[in-house]
Structure 1
Amino acid sequence: MKKMTTLALVAIMALSASAAKKKAPAKDANKPVFTTIKENPITSIKDQNRSGTCWDYSTLSFFEAEILKATGKSYDLDESFVANKTYMDRAIQVVRFHGDCQFSQGGSAEDVLHTLKTHGIVPQGIMPFPGSLYGDSLNNFNEFFGQMEPYVAAIAKSSARKISNQWKVGLQGILDAYLGKCPEKFTFEGKEYTPKSFMASLGINLDDYVSITSYTHHPFYSTFAVEVQDNWRFPQSYNLPMDEMMRVIDNAVENGYTIAWGGDVSEEGFTRNGLAYAVDGKAAQSLAGSDMARWLNLAQDKKRNIIDSLGCKVPEVKPTQEMRQERFDNWELTDDHGMLIYGVAKDQYGKEYYLVKNSWGETGAYKGIWYMTKDYIALNTMDFLINKNAIPADIRKKLGI
């Protein structure tokens, strides 16, 4: 009887296992499976929340990685300090131009570099935590800029023949009310610093950083200010052919450096789930079925549904120098977002992607990390900040740096 019971139990278990196996969902061959090729150390994922400060978060993340590489020490640098200094500087320019330039939340990597050089920096925890001054748990610039934009516009467009400097006092009050007051001195880990002396203690040389871009409306191997509104300081970028621009990124990652990347994430191929592909729209539509409306006539969400269903088998365009220039000139390539490139991975079909740190918190399938194909980066890069020592020697020679 005991033997019969045991056999019955074994049979039931076998049937259950068989049924479970049948119910298991089939593997999606289109879902990417990544193998990391190179991954450089970075600091933790941050969340810019409802603020247009990707330029601030991504570039400070870049400098945190630079400090980590140079010294082995991990710091969390304060974005609010940079924003406080930057928005005052930008308002001053808008007033000088009598309002004939843009005042907005956006910025560039140059704003962070300029702040570090001119004002220094403080670690997180010295100034109020983002959002805490107005009862939020993270940044929310809706009310903040609702106050600040009309204030700056009123000064810049004033009909007065002469204005006083008191407008700066008023604006500083708004900045301090929403971001916190920047300290003149502070104590960190038992030592007293000024923002400038703290910056000097971090172990990096701020003269080591240069900006790279790639367009044909300026000569290669020369410098120019990329013509987008958030480059309001008119920083100079070195202009390289596209293939050499990509060599710089690959060389940097291979040699342990990260890249403060600025570019376009408004393309259909940039998903909210942590992937980015330089989608070939016509080929994608063909693969998805001939009964579908033409790709260009599809709504954005339907295009993204197709991309999600195709996964890593989504067909990509092959970027060219001419394509980059055309998209820049016709406004298709826009200056949307700043992120941090820090590694390289490949999927199960051998396609290579950059590991890219975002500043939207631990969102998406990869907890705040995006896998962006090399073709996507080649096609959608506006410019990027990099340590000049990460540039291949032959390209540095051509640039004279």
Structure 2
Amino acid sequence: MKKLLFSLSLFALTISIQAQEYDFQTIIDIDATPVISQGNTGTCWSFSTSSFLESEIIRKTGKFIDISEMYTVRNVYPKKIDNYITRKGKTQFGEGGLAHDVINSIKEYGIVPNDVFSPEQTKQEYDHSELFRVLKSTLDAYTSSRNTISNNWKPITEFILDTYIGKNITEFTYEGKKYTPQTFMDMLGIKADDYITITSFKNQAYYTPFILNIPDNFSNGSLYNLPLDEYIANIDNALDKGYTLSLDCDVSEITFNAKNGIAFIPSSKDDNSKGLTEIVEEKTITEESRLQDFYSYQTQDDHLMHIIGKVKDQKGNIYYKVKNSWGNNTERIGNDGYIYMSTAYMKLKSISVLLHKEALQKQTLKNLNIK
């Protein structure tokens, strides 16, 4: 009996050693503004990249400034509308977008602080469900016409955007000084041409830009293509040098869990639930498996977020600290609104990252011929 009890105790000890709940330690934690919620909108692209720009402003000036996500959304919508109308509705029209849409917008329209342009700031959260229904039905009424259409869609859609988001501004006062959106951006030291997007797709030529055909790339923005290991190495290099990144990735996996604040790719599907709270063995991700997931629609352009650092678990496994825009309600959101994303998840499920060109490795800059 004593022998049996000893064996059972040894077995229980072995199980407890193997089943290790996550115990994270910070490796890199770059300054960022507080986690906020995009509400009931499909504008994660603006929230994530605005958050990224806010960290850039902190890096450059030391100032923590809340910039307006909706100012950018307001300026991007007319471009989406024009694209949809001129293509007679034969293209994507949605709330989504990509990080380069924010960069394109600030290059043309500048930046404004949130307290200057936040038409819904008195509400509990943003809600664009009615805006999108009204806008889409208006556009479809025009694009479904067999006859030549008038240019009335321009003032009508502008009126809709003014009503639901707000009228654009050309001048404002901030901390006692007058600015235009462009001079405000200049004061912050932000230059749109400093930012590029990198990715990794084996079917495209490496070290050249290409247009990734995903639904939300309505503006046909180009991404620089890198080998997978070099893509990840440049993400690491950026963080090591104190730069953050705007991330586009797939969040449809059940192993991406906001409540637990974790994202991982287990070797076995049997560990899908276990890995939410405990360390599990993960898959080895290759360029081939990454491309296969993309073409089988297992990896899609779902959501944009903001990479601000790294953590590690007690076994030394590395995770990226990713700022989300789903709020920080502790009852349904873990890690204070952040996701700890494993390296395997980043390799397999990230679509691309936007970063400052100076955050790239020197050899990558040379390979891409970026100056």
Shift of 1:56: 0.5
Question: Is structure 2 residue 296 aligned with structure 1 residue 330?
Answer: yes
Q: Which residue of 1 aligns with 2:311?
A: 345
Q: How many residues align?
A: 351
Which one has the largest radius of gyration? 1
Q: Which residue of 2 aligns with 1:371?
A: 340
Question: Is structure 2 residue 162 aligned with structure 1 residue 176?
Answer: yes
Q: Which residue of 2 aligns with 1:163?
A: 150
Contact 1:43-1:61 at 8 Å conserved across structures: yes
CA distance in 2, matches of 1:158, 1:216: 42
Letter in 1 for 2:20: N
Task: Report sequence identity in percent.
Answer: 36
Q: Which residue of 1 aligns with 2:9?
A: none
- Say which of 41, 50, 55 aligns to 1:65: 55
Q: Which residue of 1 aligns with 2:226?
A: 240
Which string of whole-angstrom CA distances, capped at 9 and with x for unpartnered residues, describes residues 178-197 of structure 1? 11112121111111111122
Question: Is structure 2 residue 281 aligned with structure 1 residue 315?
Answer: yes
SS at 1:312's partner residue? coil
Shift of 1:263: 0.7
- Say which of 170, 177, 194 aligns to 2:180: 194
Q: Which residue of 1 aligns with 2:349?
A: 380
CA distance in 2, matches of 1:276, 1:261: 14
Contact 1:57-1:359 at 8 Å conserved across structures: yes
For structure 1, which segment, 238-247 or 148-157, has the greater mean C-alpha deviation from structure 2 after superposition? 148-157
Shift of 1:381: 1.0
Contact 2:68-2:118 at 8 Å conserved across structures: no
Q: Which residue of 2 aligns with 1:399?
A: 368
Shift of 1:306: 3.9
Q: Which residue of 2 aligns with 1:231?
A: 217
CA distance in 2, matches of 1:358, 1:33: 21
CA distance in 2, matches of 1:195, 1:219: 38
Contact 1:45-1:358 at 8 Å conserved across structures: yes
- Say which of 353, 358, 362 aligns to 1:389: 358
Shift of 1:163: 2.0
SS at 1:341's partner residue? strand
SS at 2:355's partner residue? strand
SS at 1:87's partner residue? helix
Shift of 1:216: 1.6
CA distance in 2, matches of 1:152, 1:31: 51
Question: Is structure 2 residue 235 aligned with structure 1 residue 269?
Answer: no
Q: Which residue of 1 aligns with 2:133?
A: 146
Shift of 1:27: 11
TM-score normalised by length of structure 1? 0.84
Q: Which residue of 2 aligns with 1:255?
A: 241
Contact 1:39-1:342 at 8 Å conserved across structures: yes
SS at 2:154's partner residue? helix
CA distance in 1, matches of 2:118, 2:17: 47
Shift of 1:284: 4.3
Shift of 1:137: 1.8
Unaligned 5+ residue runs, structure 2?
1-15
SS at 2:256's partner residue? coil
Shift of 1:205: 2.0
Contact 2:100-2:221 at 8 Å conserved across structures: yes
TM-score normalised by length of structure 2? 0.91
CA distance in 1, matches of 2:278, 2:218: 38
CA distance in 1, matches of 2:115, 2:28: 32
Q: Which residue of 1 aligns with 2:206?
A: 220
Q: Which residue of 1 aligns with 2:25?
A: 35
Letter in 2 for 1:317: K
Letter in 1 for 2:307: I
For structure 1, which segment, 218-227 or 255-264, has the greater mean C-alpha deviation from structure 2 after superposition? 218-227
CA distance in 2, matches of 1:221, 1:394: 11
Shift of 1:75: 1.0
Which string of whole-angstrom CA distances, capped at 9 and with x for unpartnered residues, describes residues 268-305 of structure 1? 2101220000122xx342xx6xxxxxxxxxxxxxx5x4
Unaligned 5+ residue runs, structure 1?
1-25, 289-302
Contact 2:171-2:179 at 8 Å conserved across structures: yes
Contact 1:131-1:178 at 8 Å conserved across structures: no
Shift of 1:130: 2.9
Shift of 1:63: 0.7
Q: Which residue of 2 aligns with 1:9?
A: none
Shift of 1:168: 1.2
Contact 1:262-1:384 at 8 Å conserved across structures: yes
Shift of 1:78: 0.4
Which string of whole-angstrom CA distances, capped at 9 and with x for unpartnered residues, describes residues 37-58 of structure 1? 1111111111101111110100
CA distance in 2, matches of 1:43, 1:257: 14
CA distance in 1, matches of 2:296, 2:360: 30
RMSD: 1.7
Shift of 1:266: 0.6
Contact 1:284-1:306 at 8 Å conserved across structures: no
